[in-house]
Amino acid sequence: MARLSNYVIDTEITDENQNMLVHGYTGAIDIIDRELANYLKNNKDTLERGTFPFGEENYDLLNKRGYITDKTPVEEVQYVKDLANLLHKKNLNGIKCFGFIITYNCNFRCPYCYESRISNFGKNWSQKTFTKEIVDEAYEALATIEPVKEKRYRGLLLYGGEPLLKKNQEIVKYIVNKGVGLGYRFGAISNGFELENYEDILGPDKLGALQITIDGPRDQHNTTRVHQDGFPTFDKILSNVEMALNKECKVSIRMNTNMENIDKISALHDFFEKKGFYKNPLFQLNSALIYDYLDDLKESDDKAKGINYMSHKDYIDVYEKHPDFNFEDEGFYKRISDSITKGQRMMLQPTYCGAPSNSYLLDPYHNIYACWERIGDGSQVVGKYNKDRVKFFPNLEEIHSHNVSEKETCSKCKFVFLCRGGCPVKAKTHNCKLVRELFKTSVNKVYKKIRSISNNALTINSRIFREIYLTC
C-alpha cells in the first residue's frame, strides 16, 4: 500500500488556498491546492492510484517526485542514510576551498568576537603574521592537498584576526599578486577600517569580494565595533565601503544582530538606500543572529557578559516583518527561490558547511584547520604544513567522516538535507523549531515575491520542478 512519505514538508501559503510541498530527499518542490494537501495528510497511509480523487496524472506526478512512496518508514530512513553518505563522498572528492589566516591580530575589540578565547595566549602570540616564506609554503601546500588544479576553488579567502591591517600591506599584496599569477582571485572578511591601504589591489580580478561588519547606524555601530584605541569607526568604514564599490568590488555588509540593535535594521537599510548603495548590484546588507559562542565554548570573557543576545523568536519576528532584507536563514529563501524560478530541485547537502569535506585554512604557525569557527584552538588543528610536506592528523579523518547519516534524529527528520544538522560548533544553540519557522517564513516570502511579478497561479501542473533525481 502506497503512503505519504515521512519526508514531505507541507507549508501553507498565507492568504492563499494553496500549499507548497518540498520533499526532503528528492528535492522536489511544488505548489498544490489546499484541498489536495489536506487529502494527502488525512489519507497518508492509504494512497492508491485507482481511488485517488484528483486524477491519475497528479497521482503519478506526486509519486514520481517522492511525495507518495512504496517505501516503509524504515526503508526511507535507510535511503536517507545511503544518500547522505553518497553525497558526502561526492563532496570529499570534489572542489577544495582554501583560506589564509593572515594573522590573529586585530585592531578592534568587539565584545562578541570568538577571539576572546585566544587572548590568554598573549599579545606576542597574536602578532605573528604571514611572511613571504610562509606564503610560498602555503601555496605549495595547496597544491599538495589537491594536486589537480581544476579541483582547487579559484577563490581564496583572507581571514584573521583582521587580515587587512595597514601593517600587513606588503605581505597581503604579495599573497594577492602571486595568487593572481597562479589563477586565484580573492575575498576577505575584514572590519574595513584600514581598507584604504589596499585600494591598488581592489577589484574583480584581484581582491574582489569583501564582507564588512556594520552593526547598525553610526551611534549604534560605534558602541560595539570598538577600535582598540577607543575612537569611533563608523565613518571611516563607510568611506572605505564607498571606495571599494567604486573599484567594482563586491561588498557584503553584515549586521550582527542582538536585542540592542534589532530595532535598528530598518534605519541602517534606509541609510544605505539614501546613500544610493542599493543601486549598485555589488552591494548587499545581511543580518546575522549573534549566538552565545562564549557560553557554548565555556568561556568567561568579562567583556561579553553585557551582551543582550536575541532570542530565536525575536529573530523570526523581524524576519517576517522585513521581506526585502537579507537574513541569516539557513539559505532557505535563496534555495526556494532558485528552485522555483529556475525550475530545478532543491539543493541537497549532507553537511552544514565545508569543514567535514572540503575546507582548509592555513595560519602563520603552519597549522591547518578545517573550521574557521575553531581557528586558534590548538585542539582543533587538523594538520601541519611546511616547505617539505603536508601532514594531516587523525582528527581530520574524524571530521571528514561526519554527515547527517550519523545522527538518528537527523536521519529521520524531513529537513535533513536542508538544515544539514546545524553547525557542530553552535550545536548548543541549534534550534530545530527555529529551522522550521525560518523555512515556513521563507516559503511565504518567496511565494509573495514571485506572485508580485507574475499573475500566473502556481500549481503542480505548471511543472516548476524539472525532473532531476538522485539515486543510491
Average pLDDT in the 283-310 region? Answer: 60
Q: Which three cell numbers stand for residue 22?
A: 518540498
Span 87-141, pLDDT tens digits: 999 999 999 999 999 999 999 988 777 665 665 666 688 889 999 999 999 999 9
Span 408-454, pLDDT tens digits: 999 999 999 999 988 877 655 567 888 899 999 999 989 988 887 76
Q: Provide the mean pLDDT of the chain.
A: 88
Q: Which amino acid is at 338?
A: D
3 forms beta bridges with 69
Taking the chain, what is the end-to-end CA distance rounded to the nearest angstrom?
A: 23
- Res. 358: pLDDT tops 50: yes
- Predicted TM-score (pTM) of the model is 0.89
Domains of the chain (ranges, CATH numbers):
3-88+403-462 (no CATH), 96-344+359-400 (3.20.20.70)
Q: How confident is the model at residue 327 (pLDDT cuts 50, 70, 90)?
A: confident
Task: Provide the pLDDT for residue 117.
Answer: 61
3-state percent helix, strand, coil for the chain, nearest multiple of 5:
45, 20, 40
Span 461-470, pLDDT tens digits: 444 333 333 3
189 forms beta bridges with 211
- Res. 150: pLDDT tops 70: yes
- Res. 200: pLDDT tops 70: yes
Looking only at the bridges linking them, the beta strands covering 283-289 and 367-369 are unpaired
